[in-house]
């Protein structure tokens, strides 16, 4: 009962929001964006009247640097938005999305770091397009042979890909430099008003703002893409691949595009991560993270960009926040430790009871409802 009433409330909010004048909606969105930009500033909370220094904050994470948490969350949101193209729009299961993130990060590291064997010493900005390109190409290499086949092979091949990248990075001493990793990756360029470098190790805030800007740009691009010919082709493929093929949609081509675009976004986020971290080794690319990104997309609602954002924010931010709350009430527990267990359970439960996610894509929600109606009521068949 609660589920249906909540659903009703949510869709009521949605239709009211949609019915508002365009100006109001834009103003609302602009306010949200401004809010997100000032979120990491401490003065903002002082202004709101939260007692700084005590353990009590509304959404400040007390156990870890808030700007860093925001940055990590934003990276996660960007990944979720990218994976949403693959899983949500085109309906392909990519279990190794973090592999592309690793490819992007390693490309930047190898091209820019003075410690790298390549000795190219590029600036960070020049390496970013190359990282995106390499991630895209690796997506095509991976997707080329598998996308022609049944979708489930893609799942296992991508899963293997992510783990192989990590294993190779961990063991290979020549290029990836094993556990030692690649240090001294340069920061993004730019100097602040006070003449100091804008991006440094001192604060995560500029990186958060950078990635927030990137996310906003990507979201606009994705929205347009989803409403374009390509986006319609993806929906057709997701709903019925054979029918789409018969109707003249070149399914393989568009599936490959979805995969490559998803990979490119993954590579981009990896490149930004490398620029912030200045040091990467194989431990930064654990397979669990691929699953967390997938959980984020599913939880939020595959096929809906808003859903991907909500899911991405929840999967990373919530455990960090809970850690602070736990400290507040005197319970010492590391919510991040249980993160994968909890989100694994959430995924299973969601698939059974709410497969369309928290903020569903309307068409997908309708698909699930249709299929459920078609299900043969097995209880009426005397089995035993």
Partner 1 sequence: MNFDELFGNFPALTITGLEQGAIYALVALGYTLVYGVLRLINFAHSEVFMVGTFTALWTWEAFGYNQNTAAPAFGPLIVALLAGLAVAMVASAATAVTVELVAYRPLRRRNAPPLAFLITAIGASFVLSESFGIGTERAPYGMPTLIPQETVFTLFGAPITNLQLLILGVTLIMMIGLDQFVNRSRLGRGIRAVAQDPDTAALMGVNKNRVILLVFVLGGLMAGVAALLWDVRFGFTKFNVGFLIGLKAFSAAVLGGIGNLRGALLGGLLLGVVENYAAGLFGGDWKDFTGFVLLIVLLMFRPTGLLGESLGRARA
Give how far the C-alpha of residue 133 lies from the chain's centroid of Cα atoms, to the nearest Å: 19
Near partner 1 in 66-125, by CB under 8 A: 87, 91, 93, 95
**What minimum distance in Å lies between the beta carbon of 113 and partner 1?**
21
* Cα end-to-end distance, the chain, whole Å: 31
Alpha-carbon gap, residue 145 to 39, rounded angstroms: 44
Residue 34 binding partner 1, by CB under 8 A: no
Q: Which of 74, 261, 263, 295 binds partner 1 (CB under 8 A)?
A: 295
Residue 345 binding partner 1, by CB under 8 A: yes
Residue 48 binding partner 1, by CB under 8 A: no
Looking at the Cβ atoms of 164 and 201, the one nearer to partner 1 is: 164
User: Residue 38: in which H helix or E strand, if any?
Assistant: helix 22-38
Residue 336 binding partner 1, by CB under 8 A: no
Q: Which of 159, 271, 274, 308 binds partner 1 (CB under 8 A)?
A: 159
Alpha-carbon gap, residue 36 to 74, rounded angstroms: 10
Closest by CA to 268, choosing from 83, 117, 116, 89, is 83
**What minimum distance in Å lies between the beta carbon of 164 and partner 1?**
5
**What minimum distance in Å lies between the beta carbon of 102 and partner 1?**
15
Q: Which of 171, 180, 253, 362 binds partner 1 (CB under 8 A)?
A: 171
Angle, vertex CA 317, rays to CA 295 and CA 322, nearest 5: 110
Q: Tokens 């004048």 appear where?
A: 21
Non-local CB neighbours of 281 within 8 Å, separated by 6+ positions: 169, 170, 177, 178, 179, 180, 181, 182
Helices (H), 113-150: 124-147
Three-class SS of residue 259? helix
State the binding string over 228-267 for partner 1 (x if CB under 8 A, else -).
----------------------------------------
Looking at the Cβ atoms of 194 and 374, the one nearer to partner 1 is: 374
Closest by CA to 88, choosing from 265, 290, 226, 227, is 226
**Residues that bind partner 1 in the complex, under the rule CB under 8 A:** 87, 91, 93, 95, 142, 145-146, 149, 151-153, 155-157, 159-161, 163-164, 167-168, 171-172, 287-288, 291, 294-295, 298, 337-338, 340-341, 343-348, 351-352, 355, 367-368, 371-372, 374-376, 378, 383-384
């Amino acid at each position: 009962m609660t589920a249906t009433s909540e659903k009703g409330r949510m869709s009521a909010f949605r239709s009211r929001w949609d019915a508002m004048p365009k100006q109001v909606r834009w103003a609302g969105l602009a306010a949200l964006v401004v809010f997100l930009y000032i979120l990491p500033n401490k003065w903002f909370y002082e202004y709101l009247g939260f007692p700084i220094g005590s353990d009590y904050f509304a959404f400040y994470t007390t156990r870890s640097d808030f700007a860093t948490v925001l940055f990590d969350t934003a990276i996660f949101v960007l990944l979720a938005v990218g994976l949403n193209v693959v899983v949500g729009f085109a309906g392909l299961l990519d279990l190794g999305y973090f592999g592309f993130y690793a490819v992007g990060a390693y490309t930047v590291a190898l091209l820019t770091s003075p410690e790298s064997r390549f000795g190219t010493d590029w600036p960070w900005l020049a390496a970013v397009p190359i990282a995106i390109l390499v991630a895209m190409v690796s997506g095509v290499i991976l997707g080329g042979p598998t996308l022609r086949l049944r979708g489930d092979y893609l799942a296992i091949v991508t899963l293997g890909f992510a783990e192989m990248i990590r294993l190779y990075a961990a063991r290979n001493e020549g290029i990836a430099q094993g556990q030692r990793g690649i240090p001294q990756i340069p920061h993004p360029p730019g100097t602040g008003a006070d003449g100091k470098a804008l991006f440094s190790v001192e604060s995560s805030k500029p990186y958060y703002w950078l990635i927030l800007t990137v996310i906003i740009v990507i979201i606009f691009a994705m929205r347009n893409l989803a409403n374009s010919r390509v986006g319609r082709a993806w929906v057709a493929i997701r709903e019925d691949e054979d029918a789409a093929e018969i109707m003249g949609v070149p399914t393989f081509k568009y599936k490959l595009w979805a995969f490559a675009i998803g990979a490119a976004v993954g590579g981009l986020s990896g490149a930004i991560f490398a620029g912030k971290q200045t040091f990467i080794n194989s431990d930064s690319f654990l397979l669990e993270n691929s699953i967390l990104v997938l959980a984020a997309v599913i939880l939020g609602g595959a096929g809906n960009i808003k859903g991907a954002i909500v899911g991405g924010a929840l999967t990373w931010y919530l455990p960090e926040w809970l850690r602070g709350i736990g400290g507040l009430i005197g319970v010492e527990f590391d919510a991040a430790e249980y993160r994968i267990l909890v989100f694994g359970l959430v995924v299973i439960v969601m698939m059974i009871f709410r497969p369309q996610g928290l903020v569903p894509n309307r068409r997908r929600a309708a698909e699930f409802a249709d299929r459920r109606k078609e299900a043969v009521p097995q209880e009426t068949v005397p089995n035993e």
